[in-house]
């Protein structure tokens, strides 16, 4: 056929049960597939033979990798070399917050420019992560973007397809096996092993996995899925390296458990094997612990949850004024626990008017709007504490986060690392010009660091003096100095200001005010203050 028509055909062969493709003109060995290419996909395969460029002759876009971070450039180069050597899969292991999506976009742009890809599928876990990906792709690529949902519409001009795993699963076989030239699996440590593995087997294309926490288990091995040796990804850049090089922030841990919670920790008896089996099925192990009913007795105890909230409010890292808690995620066990925490917060700190602390989970149809509020992109810019039930545990990018509060036991070491990653991102000028975020604080109430035997730096709670407290202390100093100098006018002025400050407190029905009510009442009397 090649002699007769001047074009070597793409070879398909079958025994009636299995189908194989052999594109020897592009130097690929035979590989098993699950259907035949459409005419359109075959035409693009032939176009690639004639037009695609050598990847090692091209550099990553400086517009996309504008910071020119060495590990991002190296990741693009490593994937290019792997694909040039006729491998069809690659795995990028970069710490959370180091810009995996940016690297993926740079690779997509390079492959499109080189003629290696026309249509790209980017897969992620949830709608919020899909929204983040869409914003990132739109910032750097002019290619048409399509959000994949249950309706099957194919537009020849569309190049970038963004989908959640649940959205693509029911419809993926409506596309031919060669429809996509590249699939990128974001956070590929999760349920791609069993629940969604068919998607990766079905499409005959280049595939890239992105993760911060790969697995090496026999039944769910991230390295094996992307044809890498155990422990040897295509590109690697870990948390320790990123902190050392100044691309991520370190964390400090404030461990705080009551005797009540310590008793609950002893009930944590799900074995590592059981945890692994549940994760392989795409399930949350915490929902299947046979001791969960007893643990819930500890989880839902109101006094315990008040202690958790008070600990956060008294010892959490604060914003630039020192007056208000910084952005915080509290990880709750489930919706009931999250609502309990929010109600207790509103009871303890009613002065915030119910806008400061909100539950963000799948039960609330406003969840995406609340996430925008939490990011500072919505209508409620007062939202500072987000109580998360899974929605903010992984993937969410909010650099301003200063505190993470583990108000539940975590079973999965992979998920634990992902949750920690919510606070690692850099944030310049967070505390004013030139005053950058340098560290974030983790509150561990359930011995999670002990469970996973993780090394960490203990937090040294040094309370930051707020702006209001500084003003109050300055007025005290003014009164003392005026008294020493026998300056009656200055002394009376200081007493008037101090008295006004103390009287203002009597209108605040907060826990801290109630704790000091006797003192406040005593000095609300101006004569006693004088």
pLDDT greater at residue 9 or residue 125: 9
Q: Can you tell me the distance from the alpha carbon of 331 to that of 119, in angstroms, rounded to the nearest whole number? A: 38
- pLDDT confidence of residue 265: 53
H/E element, 182:
strand 182-185
Q: Can you tell me the distance from the alpha carbon of 318 to that of 426, in angstroms, rounded to the nearest whole number? A: 16
Q: What is the 3-state secondary structure (H, E, C) of 15-52?
A: CCCCEEEECHHHCCCCEEECCCCCHHHHHHHHHHHHHC
User: Per-residue pLDDT averaged across 419-447, rounded?
Assistant: 91
- pLDDT confidence of residue 215: 62
Return the percentage of the chain with pLDDT > 90, whole number.
50
DSSP assignment string, 145-181: EEE--SS----TT--EEEEEHHHHTTTGGGS-TTS-S
Whole-angstrom CA distances from 384 to 64, 165, 403, 464 are 31, 30, 10, 18
H/E element, 183:
strand 182-185
Q: Which residues contact 34 (CB under 8 A, 6 or more apart)?
A: 19, 177, 201, 202
Q: Can you tell me the distance from the alpha carbon of 286 to that of 290, in angstroms, rounded to the nearest whole number? A: 9
Q: What is the mean pLDDT of the chain?
A: 86
Q: Which residues pair with 22 in a beta bridge?
A: 11
Four-CA torsion 417, 422, 423, 426, nearest 10 degrees: 110
Burial class (CB in 10 A: 0-12, 13-18, 19+), 414: buried
- Measured in Å, how far apart are the chain's first and last C-alpha atoms? 106
Nearest to 503 by CA among 489, 522, 490: 522
pLDDT of 317 strictly over 80: yes
- State the CB neighbour count (10 A cutoff) for residue 39: 9
pLDDT of 466 strictly over 80: no
- pLDDT confidence of residue 412: 81
Candidate from 122-136, 138-152, 379-393 with smallest mean pLDDT: 138-152
pLDDT greater at residue 276 or residue 260: 276
**Beta-sheet pairing, 11-14 with 19-22:** antiparallel
User: Per-residue pLDDT averaged across 425-444, rounded?
Assistant: 92
Please state the domain extents for the chain: 2-244, 251-458, 467-529
What is 251-458's CATH topology? Rossmann fold (3.40.50)
What is the band of 267 on the pLDDT scale with cuts at 50, 70, 90? Answer: very low
pLDDT, one tens digit per residue, over 370-424 is 999 999 887 888 999 999 998 888 778 899 999 999 998 887 888 888 899 999 9
Candidate from 195-199, 318-322, 331-335 with smallest mean pLDDT: 195-199
Q: Which top CATH class is 2-244? A: alpha beta
Please check whether the two domains, 2-244 and 251-458, share a CATH topology: yes
Candidate from 173-182, 250-259, 273-282, 334-343 with smallest mean pLDDT: 273-282
Q: Can you tell me the distance from the alpha carbon of 25 to that of 436, in angstroms, rounded to the nearest whole number? A: 54
């Amino acid at each position: 056929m090649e002699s007769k028509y001047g074009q070597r055909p793409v070879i398909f062969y079958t025994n009636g049960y299995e189908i194989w493709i052999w594109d020897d003109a592009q130097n690929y060995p035979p590989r098993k597939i699950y259907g035949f290419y459409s005419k359109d996909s075959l035409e693009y395969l032939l176009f690639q033979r004639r037009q695609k460029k050598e990847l090692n002759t091209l550099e990553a876009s400086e517009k996309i990798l504008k910071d020119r971070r060495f590990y991002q450039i190296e990741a693009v180069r490593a994937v290019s070399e792997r694909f040039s050597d006729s491998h069809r899969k690659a795995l990028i292991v970069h710490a959370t917050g180091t810009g995996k999506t940016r690297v993926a976009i740079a690779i997509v742009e390079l492959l499109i420019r080189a003629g290696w890809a026309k249509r790209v599928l980017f897969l992620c876990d949830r709608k919020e992560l899909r929204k983040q990906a869409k914003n990132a792709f739109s910032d750097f690529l002019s290619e048409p973007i399509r959000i994949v949902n249950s309706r099957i519409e194919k537009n020849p001009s569309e190049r970038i397809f963004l989908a959640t795993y649940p959205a693509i699963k029911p419809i993926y076989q409506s596309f031919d096996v060669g429809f996509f030239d590249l699939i990128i699996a974001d956070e590929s440590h999760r349920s791609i092993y069993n629940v969604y593995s068919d998607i990766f087997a079905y499409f005959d294309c280049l595939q890239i996995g992105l993760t911060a926490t790969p697995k090496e288990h026999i039944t769910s091995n991230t390295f094996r899925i992307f044809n890498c040796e155990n422990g040897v990804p295509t590109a690697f850049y870990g948390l320790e390296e990123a902190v050392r090089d100044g691309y991520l922030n370190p964390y400090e841990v404030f461990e705080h458990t009551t005797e009540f919670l310590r008793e609950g920790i002893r009930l944590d008896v799900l074995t590592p094997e059981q945890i692994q089996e549940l994760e392989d099925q795409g399930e949350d192990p915490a929902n299947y612990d046979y001791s969960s009913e007893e643990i819930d007795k500890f989880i839902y105890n109101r006094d315990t949850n008040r202690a958790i909230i008070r600990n956060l409010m008294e010892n959490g890292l604060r914003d630039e004024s020192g007056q208000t808690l910084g952005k915080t995620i509290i990880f709750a066990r489930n919706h009931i626990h999250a609502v309990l925490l929010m109600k207790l917060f509103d009871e303890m700190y009613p002065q915030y008017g119910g806008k400061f602390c909100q539950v963000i989970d799948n039960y609330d149809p406003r969840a995406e709007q609340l996430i925008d509020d939490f990011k500072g992109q919505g209508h409620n810019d007062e939202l500072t504490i987000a109580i998360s039930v899974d929605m903010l545990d992984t993937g969410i990018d909010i650099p301003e986060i200063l505190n993470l509060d583990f108000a539940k036991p975590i079973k999965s070491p992979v998920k634990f690392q992902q949750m920690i990653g919510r606070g690692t991102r850099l944030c310049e000028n967070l505390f004013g010009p030139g005053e950058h975020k340098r560290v974030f604080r983790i509150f561990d109430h359930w011995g999670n660091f002990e469970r996973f035997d993780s090394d960490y730096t203990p937090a040294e709670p040094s309370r930051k003096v707020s702006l209001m407290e500084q003003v109050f202390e300055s007025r005290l100093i003014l009164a003392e100095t005026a008294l020493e100098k026998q300056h009656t006018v200055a002394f009376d002025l200081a007493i008037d200001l101090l008295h006004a400050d103390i009287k203002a407190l009597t209108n605040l029905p907060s826990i801290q005010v109630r704790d000091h009510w006797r003192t406040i009442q005593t000095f609300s009397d101006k004569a006693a203050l004088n």
